Amino acid sequence: MGSRLAGRTRSEWAAEGGQYEYRVLTIPRTTSRNDARRLLTEQAEYGRWELARTLLFAGGERKVWLRRKIIRVRSTLAETLD
């Protein structure tokens, strides 16, 4: 069962040219887990970002990829202006 996005499945949306924009955040090892969680929660709530990937390095540094859909607005005005 695919997830529905405005009446379409993800695969239909991707087939129609749906794209994501990405943001990569590097979180230093000195940042607590709670602060990192708070930062990512704010990005999700206010910026409409979703978590795409995380990478934890041996030294404790985290690299996080966030993504959000690129929404293209189509004109609803009639193009028949003679």
**Per-residue model confidence as pLDDT tens for the chain (82 residues):** 445 555 566 666 666 667 889 999 999 999 999 999 999 999 999 999 999 999 999 999 999 999 998 877 777 786 655 5
Residue 48: which residues within 8 A CB-CB, separation 6 or more? 68
